[in-house]
Every structure is written in structure tokens, then in C-alpha cells.
């Protein structure tokens, strides 16, 4: 490790590693990159505890385009990220699609409005009435459903840690350095950050500091005397076995079942021969940094009743595993914050993904690299999700938050 780097990235999970990859992949960048990661086992990183799904069904064109790029990147990942002499990093993308269900007039209007935005962006999403839905997925109870929105391609789920480790391996092969340590202080001289201090005692001079510290983003910003409205919010996922699996009853997408979002907010998707499920929490306080205790009661009280109501097949199900992870939750508007601090311009945020950071990793990593190399976005303009809106208390509008 040197004592000075052009770019120091705080956090080396999916976002930090995506930034390191895109910087070092760009022929216009010839600087040095250090990624500091406090826990290279990643056992508590949001990246490892994620449900690892990607959708284009958002209400804001920027989010649709971010995921369209993510989807293309994930599909081509093995070819682009192959490191000589290593296994192909195939992410095992399952293009199952998302299926949103609406049972109220308001819900129907939202799905129709979102659909118009998605189609204008070229997303492969269709709206179905009750009969079409019943034909496509005969195991679902549809009599209360007014409309369904289904992603025919470009949506599904994939290997979450594969995405992170693929970025990391390629970034290292391209010259990025990783160190196992914790950033405990950030030096600042007026409108510039100047260095990071590591727990081991090392002080590293930094040309630019990137905040990629996930749910701990606010702790990192505070070290530089700055702020970001991100806090850890607990989400519990359950894996269940199903005695009478509906798999195979699907009439679309080569018989695959989708990631269904019930009108109750409960979601459910296949996970190998099992199913993965979760629900929005009833109460959602900031979690303690080290509290990863699952909210076991959510399955009995919220998830199972909703699933059993939606499909006879889900009446007899049994939990086989569960875990809790932390959303990197943006309390202003539940959306990513990607951009420089307006005054301390060599401090770059890549935070606040609030449940979308895996699928947004490729676009966010590329965007941060462009800001650092060119001083502006070159491909997808992410100015609308920059830090300025935080200062101005101007929420970015996205209706399709899960």
C-alpha cells in the first residue's frame, strides 16, 4: 500500500467495487485506486443479504434506464468480467420478470401511469386484465385483481455476491488495490478532503474520497464533517418450501414463475426449488448497526396469510431459512444519491439505494467513474439523483418503491 492515492473508496462491496472497476477499465484514467474494506467476509454487507433482483418497472425514467443498463450488464457479465486464468463469473440470471398486482382504482391508475413511462423508455412491460393474468399464472387467485403489470424480459434475479466478487476481481486485475482496514477519520482542508486515517493507524493522502459504505454512509460522511440522510433499516427475508408447488403451472416465459408483488406489499419469487419472500415492515425505525435479528413474526402475521389468500398452492408452506439485512435507506426519498458534495467537491456520494443498490450498481459505478474522470456524466445523466436535492430538501419522485 502506498501513502497516497488518486481515489480512495470507503467500502468494497458491490458499489465500491463497481466504482473501482469502472475507473480502472477506462483508458482515460491512469490514476491509482485504493479500496478500504473493514470486513472482507461481507457477511453483514447489504450486498450479501440482498434478494438480488432487478426490475425495469419504476415510475421515474431515470430509474428505468439505470436498471435497463444494469440488466444488460448482468447478462453480459461473464464475458466482460472474465479474468484470465479464472472461472467465468456467470451470474446465473433468471429472467423470471416482476408481476405487480393492483386491486384498487388508485393502484390501477399508478400501474397504468408507470407503464406509460416504462414503455416510453423501451422497457418490455405489459399490462394484463384479470383474464390474461389468470391464463398466464393459473395458480393465482385473480378475482379481486383489477390489473397486473408484467416484465416480459430484462427483469429477474441473479447471483448477488457473484456481481460483487466479479467487479472486485476485475478491478484488482486492472490495478485497483484492496486493503482490509477501517476508515476511522477523514482529513479535510476547507473545501477539500485530503486524507483518510485507517484503524491500523495509517494515514493515506487522497485526491478524491468515494463514500461507498452502504448503510454506514452517514458515519463516513460525518468523518468529513458532512452529512447524508442514510440510515440502516431492517428487512427480513424468508425462504420457504411449498408442499404443492405451483412451478410448472405458468403459461408464459417458458413456464417460469415471476417475482410477484401482491397488493398487500408481500413479494415472493422462486429460489431454486424453494421460494424467497418478504414484506414491507409495519414499523420501520432506524436499526442498530449490529442488530441483524430477523423479525420472525412477519411470516406468520403478514406473509403467510397474504400468500395463502393469493394462491391455494401457498396454503401449506414451511420456512426453511430466514435472515435480516439492512437497507441503505435514504430518509428523504428512498432513492440513490450519486454525486459530488456541492462544496467539498472531491467527496463523492454513492449511497442511499434503499433496496435497489445491486441492480443499480453497474450504472452507479459507471456514473461515479465519469464524474471523477471527466468532471461530468457522459453516458446516463444522473444529475437528478445528485446531492443537491438533499441540500434543497427536494425529494426525487419514485412511486414504485418496494
Interface residue with ligand FAD among 127, 359, 362, 369 (CB under 6 A) is 359
Of 154, 258, 355, 365, the one binding ligand FAD by CB under 6 A = 355
Sole binder of ligand FAD in the list 5, 21, 33, 46 (CB under 6 A): 46
Q: How many residues bind ligand FAD (CB under 6 A)?
A: 39
Contact with ligand FAD (CB under 6 A): which of 96, 215, 270, 294?
215
Of residues 6-45, those binding ligand FAD (CB under 6 A): 10-11, 13-16, 36-39, 42, 45
User: Are 160 and 50 spatial neighbours (Cβ–Cβ below 8 Å)?
Assistant: yes
* Shortest distance, position 337 Cβ to ligand FAD, whole Å: 11
CB-wise, 263 or 280, nearer to ligand FAD?
A: 280
Considering only 47-55, 72-80, 168-176, 367-375, which stretch makes contact with ligand FAD by CB under 6 A?
Answer: 47-55
Q: Report the nearest approach of ligand FAD to the CB of residue 143 (Å).
A: 29
Instruction: Report, in Å, the least distance between residue 346 CB and ligand FAD.
Output: 18
Is residue 155 close enough to count as binding ligand FAD by CB under 6 A?
Answer: no
Closest CB to ligand FAD among residues 71, 253: 71
Binding positions for ligand FAD, 55-114, rule CB under 6 A: none
Q: CB nearer to ligand FAD: give 52 or 195.
A: 52
Nearest distance in Å: CB 279, ligand FAD: 11
Q: For residues 189 and 395, give the distance between their C-alpha atoms in angstroms, rounded to a whole number.
A: 30
Name which of 19 and 134 has its Cβ closer to ligand FAD: 19
Between the alpha carbon of residue 35 and those of residues 1, 27, 49, 304, the distances in Å are: 11, 19, 21, 42
Kindly list the distances between the CA atom of residue 305 and the CA atoms of 55, 94, 134, 246, in Å, as whole numbers in the listed order: 26, 27, 21, 17
Minimum CB separation of residue 395 from ligand FAD in Å reads 18
Is 235 a residue that touches ligand FAD (CB under 6 A)? yes
Please give, one letter per residue, the 3-state secondary structure of the chain: CCCEEEEEEECCCHHHHHHHHHHHHCCCCCCCEEEEECCCCCCCCCCCCCCCEECCCCCCHHHHHHHHHHHHHHHCHHHHHCCCCCCCCCCCCECCCEEEEECCHHHHHHHHHHHHHHHHCCCCEEEECHHHHHHHCCCECCCCCCEEEEECCCCEECCHHHHHHHHHHHHHHCCCEEEECCEEEEEEECCEEEEEEECCCCEEEEEEEEECCHHHHHHHHHHCCCCCCEEEEEEEEEEEEECCCCCCCCCCHHHCCCEEECCCCCEEEEECCEEEEECCCCCCCECCCCCCCCCCHHHHHHHHHHHHHHEHHHCCEEEEEEEEEEEEEECCCCCCEEEECCCCCCEEEEECCCCCHHHHHHHHHHHHHHHHHHCCCCCCCCHHHCCHHHHCCCCCCCCCCC
Which of 162, 166, 339, 357 is the binder for ligand FAD (CB under 6 A)?
357
Q: Which is nearer to ligand FAD, 11 or 246 (CB)?
A: 11
Name the minimum Å distance from CB 36 to ligand FAD: 5
What do you get for the CA distance between the two ends of the chain, in Å? 41
x-or-dash string of contact with ligand FAD, 165-204, rule CB under 6 A: -----------------xx---------------------
Q: How far is the CB of 144 from ligand FAD (least distance, A)?
A: 26
Q: Which is nearer to ligand FAD, 168 or 310 (CB)?
A: 168
Nearer to ligand FAD, 214 or 246 (CB): 214
CB closer to ligand FAD out of 51 and 277: 51
Applying the rule CB under 6 A, the residues between 307 and 346 that interact with ligand FAD are 325-328
For the CB of residue 281, give the shortest distance to ligand FAD in the complex, in Å. Answer: 11
The verdict on 277 binding ligand FAD (CB under 6 A) reads no
Q: How far apart are CA 172 and CA 200, in angstroms?
A: 22
Q: Looking at beta carbons, which residue is closest to ligand FAD? A: 357
Residues 6+ apart with CB under 8 A from 135: 251
In sequence order, the 6+-apart residues with CB closer than 8 A to the CB of 41 are none
Please report, as ranges, the residues that interact with ligand FAD according to CB under 6 A: 10-11, 13-16, 36-39, 42, 45-47, 49-53, 182-183, 212-216, 220, 235, 237, 325-328, 353, 355-359
Amino acid at each position: 500500500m502506498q501513502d497516497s492515492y488518486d481515489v480512495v473508496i470507503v467500502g468494497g462491496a458491490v458499489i465500491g467495487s463497481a466504482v473501482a472497476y469502472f475507473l480502472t477499465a477506462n483508458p482515460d484514467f491512469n490514476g491509482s485506486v485504493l479500496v478500504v474494506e473493514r470486513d472482507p467476509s461481507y457477511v453483514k454487507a447489504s450486498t450479501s443479504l440482498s434478494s438480488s433482483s432487478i426490475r425495469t418497472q419504476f415510475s421515474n425514467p431515470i430509474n428505468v434506464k439505470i436498471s435497463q443498463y444494469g440488466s444488460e450488464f448482468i447478462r453480459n457479465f461473464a464475458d466482460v468480467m472474465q479474468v484470465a486464468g479464472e472461472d467465468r463469473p456467470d451470474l446465473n440470471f433468471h429472467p423470471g420478470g416482476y408481476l405487480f398486482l393492483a386491486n384498487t382504482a388508485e393502484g390501477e391508475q399508478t400501474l397504468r401511469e408507470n407503464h406509460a413511462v416504462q414503455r416510453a423508455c423501451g422497457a418490455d412491460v405489459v399490462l394484463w386484465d384479470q383474464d390474461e393474468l389468470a391464463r398466464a399464472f393459473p395458480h393465482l387467485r385473480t378475482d379481486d385483481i383489477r390489473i397486473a403489470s408484467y416484465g416480459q424480459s430484462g427483469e429477474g434475479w441473479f447471483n448477488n455476491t457473484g456481481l460483487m466478487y466479479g467487479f472486485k476481481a476485475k478491478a484488482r486485475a486492472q490495478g485497483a488495490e484492496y486493503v482490509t482496514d477501517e476508515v476511522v477519520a477523514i482529513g479535510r482542508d476547507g473545501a477539500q478532503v485530503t486524507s483518510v486515517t485507517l484503524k491500523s493507524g495509517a494515514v493515506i493522502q487522497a485526491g478524491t474520497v468515494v463514500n461507498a459504505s452502504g448503510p454506514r454512509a452517514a458515519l463516513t460522511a460525518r468523518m468529513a464533517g458532512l452529512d447524508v440522510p442514510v440510515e440502516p433499516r431492517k428487512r427480513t427475508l424468508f425462504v420457504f418450501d411449498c408442499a404443492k408447488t405451483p412451478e410448472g403451472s405458468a403459461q408464459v416465459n417458458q413456464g417460469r414463475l415471476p417475482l410477484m408483488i401482491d397488493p398487500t406489499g408481500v413479494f415472493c419469487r422462486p429460489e431454486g426449488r424453494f421460494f424467497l419472500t418478504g414484506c414491507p415492515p409495519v414499523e420501520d425505525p432506524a436499526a442498530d448497526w449490529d442488530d441483524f435479528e430477523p423479525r420472525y413474526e412477519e411470516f406468520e402475521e403478514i406473509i403467510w396469510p397474504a400468500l395463502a389468500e393469493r394462491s391455494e398452492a401457498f396454503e401449506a408452506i414451511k420456512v426453511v431459512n430466514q435472515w435480516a439485512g439492512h437497507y441503505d435507506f435514504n430518509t428523504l426519498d428512498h432513492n440513490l444519491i450519486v454525486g459530488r458534495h456541492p462544496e467539498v467537491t472531491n467527496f463523492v456520494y454513492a449511497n442511499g439505494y434503499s433496496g435497489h443498490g445491486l441492480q443499480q450498481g453497474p450504472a452507479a459505478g459507471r456514473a461515479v467513474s465519469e464524474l471523477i474522470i471527466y468532471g461530468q456524466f457522459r453516458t446516463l445523466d444522473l444529475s437528478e439523483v445528485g446531492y443537491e436535492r438533499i441540500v434543497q430538501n427536494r425529494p426525487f419522485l419514485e412511486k414504485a418503491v418496494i
